[in-house]
Structure 1
Amino acid sequence: MTKENKELSPEQREKLLKTLKARFEKNMHRHESMEWADVQAKLEDNPEKLWSLNEMEGTGGEPDVVGHDEETGEYIFYDCTVESPKGRRSVCYDREALESRKKHKPENSAMDMAAAMGIELLTEEQYREMQELENFDLKTSSWVQTPANIRKLGGAIFCDRRYDTVFMYHNGADSYYGARGFRGSLRV
């Protein structure tokens, strides 16, 4: 598989679909009124989305279906790993933040990684909706999409769950921590 064609081999595709199906069936509380056969049919019609889901899986995101858009017919996947995905931590917010660091630069930024994977960072609203399904980020935190007015001033926002409450915080967009990553969403 090359990143240019963004297609999985038949073996990779089969393995990913098996993993996604098992997760779907184990976590029916995330998608009670949905059927796996419908989701799989949509995935098989969109191989580039399978590639993105494989990227989410490969970085520790454990993507799962969390919704269905009745208007577009799209299924909505979020990273549902208990803590922020391990393969996406220690990143600053975006390219501008990365380039502004004079020393001790992280290897990447959340926005660049998400774009390369074909996914989007969760918004604060999506993050809060996800937290209604179950408890996430009890030890870690996750960058979320930052409003332009905050980003223009050099900041970025992130969320986590502590004390049985979902919190939204701010930090310099160029900051990065071993316990902060990002969660993505994908519509299929």
Structure 2
Amino acid sequence: MTESGKAGNQNELSLEQQEELLKVLKARFEKNMHRHEGLEWDKVQAKLVANAEKLWSLNEMERTGGEPDVVEFNEQANEFIFNDCSAESPKGRRSVCYDREALEARKKHKPENNAIDMAMEMGIEILTEEQYRTLQQLENFDKKTSSWVQTPTDIRELGGALFCDYRFGHVFVYHNGADSYYGSRGFRGLLRV
């Protein structure tokens, strides 16, 4: 941090930004206790303050419409797991193809970005199918949108990619060309703190 309290580089938040983000996260945490029964905000906040670099990633999740919240505590790894908990796929991360290879393969009408690079730039992971299904057990997400999920290598090597959504009381997993993109498809992320 610089003396003025402003971030010293682009991947740091100022003290003011950190405080504002912590307020937002605390309010969401307290409003949605069903996502993290038995966990206490004070312990989450202490872990975040001790790992302030993670606040930048959480802020990116928030800034792009993900509404991140704690969904799990991994005792073995001593880490809190944050997932995007917005009702629909985060608005600021839609209309992206799956990865850079797919983006570069498009000859016309290229999207502005791809899910894998965006996640990496944000410092988060794209959910796996299993993580997506686990998230859906907390409440139902993506009733009108869909979200890219990590795709197995053998499918990706053949040009495909996987995405999921929630319809008719079930989680569905589908495939598409990795170079496809839609205004209603984004991706959900995960951050370990």
So what's the TM-score if we normalise by structure 1?
Answer: 0.98
Give the distance between the partners of 2:188 and 2:121, measured in 1 at CA: 14
Give the distance between the partners of 2:151 and 2:8, measured in 1 at CA: 27
**In the alignment, which residue of structure 2 is the partner of 1:100?**
105
**In the alignment, which residue of structure 2 is the partner of 1:135?**
140
Give the distance between the partners of 2:52 and 2:161, measured in 1 at CA: 33
The answer to whether structure 1 residue 69 and structure 2 residue 74 are counterparts is yes
Question: Shift of residue 72 of structure 1?
Answer: 1.1
**In the alignment, which residue of structure 2 is the partner of 1:28?**
33
- Please list every run of 5 or more consecutive structure 1 residues that lacks an aligned counterpart in the other structure: none
- The one of 173, 176, 187 equivalent to 2:178 is 173
Q: How does 1:1-188 map to 2 (within 5 A)?
A: 4-188=9-193
Note if contact 2:67-2:85 (Cα within 8 Å) is conserved in structure 1: yes
Give the distance between the partners of 2:168 and 2:8, measured in 1 at CA: 41
- Please list every run of 5 or more consecutive structure 2 residues that lacks an aligned counterpart in the other structure: 1-5
Matched-pair identity in %: 74
Moved over 4 A (4+): 1-5
Q: Which amino acid aligns with 1:176?
A: Y
Where 1:83 maps in the other structure, the secondary structure is: coil
Alpha carbons of structure 1 residues 3 and 134: separation in structure 2 relative to 1, 3 Å: farther
Give the distance between the partners of 2:167 and 2:160, measured in 1 at CA: 22
Give the distance between the partners of 2:9 and 2:111, measured in 1 at CA: 25
Where 2:98 maps in the other structure, the secondary structure is: coil
So what's the TM-score if we normalise by structure 2?
Answer: 0.95
Question: Shift of residue 7 of structure 1?
Answer: 1.0
Give the distance between the partners of 1:180 and 1:7, measured in 2 at CA: 29
- The size of the alignment, in residue pairs, is 188
Give the distance between the partners of 2:85 and 2:18, measured in 1 at CA: 20
